[in-house]
Amino acid sequence: MNIACDIRVFLAAETGVGTYFKNLLNQMAAIDRENRYLLFTSSRKVRFHAARIPAFADRRLIDARIPVKVLNWLWHHWHYPPLEFFFKETIAVAHSPSPMLLPSRGKSIITVHDLFFITQPERVQNESRRHFRRQLGRSVNRADGIICISETTRSQLLSMFPGLAAKTRVIRHGVAPAFFSAPGDHSELRKKYRLPERYILFTGTIEPRKNLPTLLRALLRLKAAGIVIPLVIAGSRGWGLDEFIVLRKELADQVHELGYVAVEDLPSVYRQAQLFVFPSLAEGFGLPLLESLAVGTPVLCSDIPVFHEIGGTVPVFFNNSRETELADKIAWLWKQDKDTGMEAGIAQALKFSWQDSAARTLTFYRQIAREQT
């Protein structure tokens, strides 16, 4: 059968949804030698690099010179043009890696990652809040299949749309094999990113729901007590940064912002950290938690349901509104041997693989396609 996929999410440097879809399709290419994959991307200026195209045995790429915003507007408002317009082929299943439904005459599958823009609207920009809430209701009702990346996301979705249970599937993320590989020489990477000798790490975009101000206030509390702990932030600045910037200035060179870190460098940046801190207020999954466990670095994370679902009993949890509790646990873990509990962390991360995610997704494709006949 012909399976269409929108791969624009990893056209350039991928984060979040792009990381998900790139890893998923690469593993799908490794296990599926039977189906034909119609891969779609578009941009007015940027072309999809050949080396980044998943190596399906039978594939076809359309790299349209259409601005993303223009095409998205047409798809959102008119559900036109359909993917068949570009490929001139019949499509059995069209998979969107986001809640944006792809226009197609075949069956449609969407992936829902999180719902914080509805459950915590104050953490989202106004434009996104209005746009995504409208889009979600339309998409989930019209989609033939819905992939949720965690039980937490599925539960939230069904609390809003109770009638969707039959067409939802939970298919969790995996961890890339590079995070389990043996450590190498880190000296060049340390020079490249000017990493401190010891540090705690946060990865992700700096935005309100990531709760970085609480982490910075905890570090200021420790600093006042004479405990100076460097923080490395691997991720770009997003929006809602006023409080972060004020606190960042108070901590001065104690905070090291790396900006976007190349995918191939991430395992080493995790591995060299004494501790990974994940203070998020809301997540749909929390892949950095697993990536940290996979390299053997301890995790201190928010006491939110999805982190318990993904991390089990391995991470140390804290109330994400209590900076005193966070400071105390950072100080305690900073003194510990980071190798303690390493085996348990790696064992937990090994429960999640992109190969398993790909196999489950392929099964879902086949099920949805059969319902068409």
> Which segments of 11-150 does DSSP mark as H helices, in order?
17-31, 68-78, 83-87, 116-119, 126-142
Nearest alpha carbon to residue 83 among 147, 53, 39? 39
Nearest to 174 by CA among 353, 358, 22, 356: 353
Residue count of the chain: 373
If you ran DSSP here, which 8-state letter would residue 16 be given? Answer: T
pLDDT digits (tens, 9 = 90+) for 351-367: 999 999 999 999 999 99
Ranges assigned E (strand) in the chain: 2-6, 36-42, 59-64, 93-96, 107-112, 145-148, 168-170, 200-203, 231-234, 255-259, 275-278, 299-302, 316-318
Going by the DSSP 8-state scheme, the letter that residue 51 receives in this structure is G
Question: For position 186, what pLDDT does the model report?
Answer: 81
| 365: amino acid identity, one letter | Y
Taking each helix axis from N to C terminus, what angle separates 342-349 and 287-295, rounded to the nearest 10 degrees?
130
Instruction: Count H helices and E strands in the chain, helices first.
Output: 15, 13
Q: Taking Cα atoms as reference points, which of 232, 226, 206 lies closest to residue 15?
A: 206
Beta bridge partners of 206: 237
CA-closest candidate to residue 16, choices 165, 121, 122, 116: 116
* Cβ atoms of residues 65 and 42 within 8 Å: yes
Question: Residue 77 above 80 pLDDT?
Answer: yes
Over residues 151-171, the pLDDT tens digits come to 999 999 999 999 999 999 999
**pLDDT confidence bin for 134, thresholds 50/70/90:** confident
How high does pLDDT run on average in the chain?
93
Asked whether the beta carbons of 107 and 90 are under 8 A apart, the reply is no
pLDDT bucket at 217, cuts 50 / 70 / 90: very high
| 54-76 mean pLDDT | 95
Q: What CA–CA distance (Å, rounded) separates 355 from 26?
A: 9
From 11-20, 44-53, 305-314, 316-325, the region with the lowest mean pLDDT:
11-20
- Assess whether pLDDT exceeds 90 at residue 283: yes
Cβ atoms 96, 102 nearer than 8 A: yes
What is the Cα–Cα distance from 184 to 202, expressed in whole angstroms?
22
Per-residue pLDDT at 46 exceeds 70: yes
**Nearest Cα residue to 16 out of 227, 211, 286:** 286
pLDDT score recorded for residue 122: 61
pLDDT score at 373: 42
Query: pLDDT per residue over 307-323, tens digit each?
Result: 999 999 999 999 998 99
Residue 155 exposure: Cα atoms within 13 Å on the Cβ side? 8
CA dihedral over 180, 182, 188, 194, signed as positive or negative: positive
Residue 130 has a pLDDT of 60
- Amino acid letter for position 303: D
Rounded-to-integer distance, Cα 61 and Cα 55, Å? 11
164: its two tokens? 């969707």
What is the DSSP code (8-state) at residue 188?
H
Classify 113 as helix, strand or coil: coil
All structural domains of the chain, each given as residue ranges with its CATH number in brackets, are 2-174+353-370 (3.40.50.2000), 177-349 (3.40.50.2000)
Residue 120: pLDDT band (50, 70, 90) is: low
Share of the chain above pLDDT 70, in %: 95
Q: Is 38:130 a contact under the CB 8 Å cutoff? A: no
Q: Read off the pLDDT of residues 83-93 as tens digits, 9 standing for 90 and up.
A: 999 999 999 99
Query: What pLDDT shows up at residue 135?
Result: 80
Q: Which helix (H) or strand (E) holds 160?
A: helix 151-160
Residues 54-58 have a mean pLDDT of: 96
